[in-house]
């Protein structure tokens, strides 16, 4: 994880106030050595994005994740009346030189046993997103009880100069447990299994203050939309926190940007986050078009099929659009190809058959998207997370 996410270090006497003013979360008991999933909405109550927020020490936070919500926080900190400073460590895709720190994640049913072996201090028991410490090769290392593969796990970090020292110690200890080193391709599918939507379309293109915000935001960070869903109104691509599964995180007892608009949206019909299990025959037929005469279907990349930063595919029932599919990939543990979707609640019951429209129509204007034709792929609604262990054991107390 050392290369693919952005870290925004927020420091100053107003750092917590800034985060509380923007985040929908409860901050009343937030203290150093705690972490949470930070979620922000725009003035109209639509989702901007989410990231992991770590309270490092008094007046110092690390916001880790995709750049969408990180940009939003930095903009308001720089343009608002806040006594804060920022240090940004962008992903390796855009940063020059080494990261400021390494970030590792150990996942799986024996992750705790492995870390107990490699750490010279006991591994504390803590719930999902609880913080603890390891000591490896004489280094005290902060960690979060976190998981991205539907199994128990730990995410931990330290100064970049310790990268090889800590990594080698974990690999050596992991031999006993048949530790597998997973690269970025396999890692990219973990969110699909655990039901985290990594990059829903951020609500930054319309609404109050967005004109000023887009002037501040570098064009390279605005992102690209891909998928079969089509509308002339960009707000049709937006989501509310409820539709992505973040309704449980809202703290109505504090004032935050977009609170009143979000409260009004809470009274309206909502879509529900689900998993869609793609029909194996339709999936195979789609891939087979690559070897048949005529224009093929949009190429489905394995193990992750997203081809835009914001993947937005239409989900239909009896020819009517009932939702959108966000992110799709193959789960080797489940031997299934699934996507995460937000669909009308009346169709969210597990076992419901829907249709996912794959490919853009009539012709994509994106230079990186090959000529193709749209196809329909049947899918069965399943719970999110798809993994039964993740639903019933791993995250039940989160």
Distance (Å, whole) CA 391 – CA 398? 11
Distance (Å, whole) CA 315 – CA 229? 8
Residue 176 annotated as binding?
Answer: no
Cα separations in angstroms, 283 against 310, 327, 330, 343: 22, 15, 11, 21
Distance (Å, whole) CA 365 – CA 347? 32
Place of tokens 């006497």: 13
Indicate left, alpha or beta for 49 from its phi (over 0: left) and psi (-120 to 50: alpha): left
Kind and range of the H or E run holding 216? helix 210-216
Q: What single-letter DSSP state applies at residue 158?
A: E
Return the closest-CA partner of residue 349 out of 392, 390, 380. 380
The Cβ of residue 222 has, within 10 Å, a number of other Cβ atoms equal to 14
Max Cα distance, the chain (Å)? 65
CA 368, 372, 373, 377 torsion: positive or negative? Answer: negative
Bridging pattern class, strands 375-382 and 271-278: antiparallel
Spell out where the chain has E strands: 6-11, 34-41, 47-57, 60-65, 85-89, 101-107, 131-136, 139-145, 153-159, 225-226, 271-278, 310-311, 313-317, 320-331, 336-344, 353-358, 375-382
Structure tokens at 116: 């107990």
- State the binding site for substrate: 155
- State the binding site: 155
């Amino acid at each position: 994880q050392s290369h693919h996410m952005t870290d925004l270090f927020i420091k100053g006497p107003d750092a917590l106030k800034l985060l509380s003013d923007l985040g929908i979360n409860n901050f009343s008991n937030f203290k150093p050595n705690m972490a949470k999933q930070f979620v922000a909405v725009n003035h109209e109550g639509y989702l901007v994005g989410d990231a992991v927020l770590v309270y490092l020490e008094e007046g110092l936070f690390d916001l880790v994740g995709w750049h969408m919500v990180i940009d939003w926080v930095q903009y308001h900190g720089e343009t608002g009346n806040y006594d804060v400073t920022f240090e940004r460590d962008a992903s390796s895709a855009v940063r020059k030189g080494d990261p400021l720190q390494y970030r590792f994640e150990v996942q799986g049913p024996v992750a705790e046993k492995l870390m107990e072996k490699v750490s010279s201090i006991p591994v504390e028991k803590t719930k999902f997103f609880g913080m603890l410490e390891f000591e490896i090769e004489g280094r005290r290392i902060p960690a979060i009880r976190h998981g991205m593969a539907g199994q128990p796990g730990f995410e931990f970090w330290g100064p970049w100069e310790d990268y090889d020292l800590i990594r080698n110690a974990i690999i050596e200890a992991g031999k006993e447990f048949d530790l597998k080193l997973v690269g970025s391709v396999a890692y990219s599918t973990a969110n699909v299994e655990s039901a985290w939507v990594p990059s829903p379309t951020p609500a930054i293109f319309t609404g109050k203050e967005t004109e000023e915000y887009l002037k501040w935001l570098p064009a390279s960070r605005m992102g690209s939309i891909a998928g079969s869903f089509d509308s002339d109104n960009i707000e049709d691509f937006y989501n509310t926190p409820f539709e992505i599964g973040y309704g449980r995180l809202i703290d109505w007892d504090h004032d935050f940007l977009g609170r009143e608009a979000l409260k009004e949206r809470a009274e309206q019909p909502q879509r529900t986050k689900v998993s869609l299990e793609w029909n194996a025959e339709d999936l195979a037929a789609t891939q087979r078009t690559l070897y048949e005469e005529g224009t093929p279907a949009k190429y489905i990349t394995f193990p992750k099929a997203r081809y835009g930063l914001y993947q937005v595919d239409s989900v239909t029932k009896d020819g009517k659009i009932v939702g959108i599919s966000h992110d799709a990939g193959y789960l080797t543990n489940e031997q299934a190809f699934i996507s995460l979707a937000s669909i009308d609640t009346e169709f969210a019951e597990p076992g419901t058959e829907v249709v996912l429209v794959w490919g853009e129509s009539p012709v994509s204007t994106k230079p990186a998207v090959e000529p193709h034709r749209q196809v329909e792929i049947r899918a069965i609604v399943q719970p999110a997370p798809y993994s039964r262990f993740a639903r019933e054991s791993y995250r039940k107390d989160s």
